[in-house]
Amino acid sequence: MTYHHVISELIKRAHKSGIKYSLDNFNKALAQCGNPHNACNSIIHVAGTNGKGSTIAFISSALIEMGYTVGTYTSPHIDSYTERICLQNKPISEAEFASLFYKVLEWVPETPLTEFEILTIMAFLYFKHQKPDFMIYETGLGGRLDATNVVNPIITLITSIGLDHQSILGDTLSQIASEKAGIIKQGIPVYTMKQHPKVMDILTKMANEKNAPIRVSEAIIPPKSFLLNADYQQDNYGIAVALIHDMMAQKRIKQEPKAAKKGFQKAGLQNRFEKIGEDIVLDMAHNPQGIHALVLSLEKAYPKKKWHIVAGIQKIKQVDHMLRGLSPLSKQLYYCPFDDALCDSYDTVKTRILPLALYPCNLQDIAHLPRPLLVTGSIYFLAKVKPKLSVLS
């Protein structure tokens, strides 16, 4: 089975099975595969609404610069499925990816699994074989019933929590926080950042019930020399610094603060306040909390500047709220329904957000919009737009 056949099958499963917030089939499949997750040690388990990817990038880059091998399992991908399973920040090969997919299907032919569940087992099998010094697993959705929550971590980490995926995780911050806090394990240290009081109450209560030491990190603004230097990275950078420094103090890792800082500086991710040329910014703010953080960062980095803003947002998100959040910075605000199945039509959204001025836009037109230009919204939207813009830089 070739890599391209594997991707076709994964996409079919994603459309057919969607999101299944349950561990019943997954636990059965793990047992059929020999429970490979139990062979994975030194795991850092990460949940949260926003900032997971950046925080993981900071931590993994620091550990790699200090001489450790690090495996990361993250989602979603931007250009290739292989990005989800990385060793030393390098994606798994297409051949290895296809081989692992075939192996999982061979072992569990009758157990219905979602796209994410198959990928999670593939990551377990890959890291069981590669034996990195550290593994960092990012939850796909929530925490309590996420496929990654079968791991036995040495540290759990919960980034900023906000409203997202309410149809599955609950309508309130407290409900969502309870789901995310489901990754907290008995006696295992948990790291978090300053959160909404309702969120902190839930996290503190859960940590106390599990006798898990909880560390609330302070925000640290990353230097401008960092690749991830947007103002909204200060909580993510702060929690990464706290975790790495504690690991050094506890002698879990070498005492190499200079190497750690160099790693933090080199940490990078696509589409996080990413600049193309002098007058285009890409940012994958895909929920109201992310939009708010993006707006504050833009106001600080570019005082008084107004932007031509194009947003591509999935209909399962709070589209109206997000567009209104962008409007204070906009010279002109565009909405791009980049996928008919995933997005509401322009006319539908336009009617809902009146009297806010909104203009239609399609993917082909984005490269020709006036500058300065901000492109934001769904990760899948930015994956389609970026190649059209990169040729302009």
Taking only Cα atoms into account, the Rg of the chain, rounded to an integer number of angstroms, comes to 21
- Using alpha carbons, list the distances in angstroms from residue 277 to 274, 280, 285, 371: 10, 6, 20, 11
pLDDT score of 20: 66
Reported in sequence order, the residue ranges of the chain that DSSP labels E, i.e. its strands, are 43-47, 70-73, 85-87, 90-91, 134-138, 155-158, 190-193, 214-217, 274-276, 280-283, 307-312, 330-335, 359-360, 373-377
> Is 176 within 8 Å of 210 (Cβ atoms)?
no
Report which DSSP code applies to 189. Answer: -
Q: Six-digit token pair at 303?
A: 């005082």
Where do the domains of the chain lie?
3-266, 274-390
pLDDT at 390 over 80: no
Q: Which fold has domain 3-266?
A: UDP-N-acetylmuramoyl-L-alanine:D-glutamate ligase (3.40.1190)
pLDDT at 129 over 60: yes
In the chain, pLDDT over 90 holds for what percent of residues? Answer: 81
Spatial separation of the C-alpha atoms in residues 230 and 236, rounded to whole Å = 11
For the chain, how many residues are written?
A: 393
Answering whether pTM is above 0.75, one says yes
pLDDT score of 86: 98
pLDDT band for position 166 (cuts 50, 70, 90): low
3-state DSSP assignment of residue 201? helix
Give the pLDDT confidence of 180-209 residue by residue, as tens digits. Answer: 999 999 999 999 999 999 999 999 999 999
Q: Prior bond to 223 cis, omega within 30?
A: no
What's the CATH class of domain 274-390? alpha beta
Q: For residue 63, give the nearest of 256, 327, 342, 220 by alpha carbon.
A: 256
> Is 10 within 8 Å of 89 (Cβ atoms)?
no
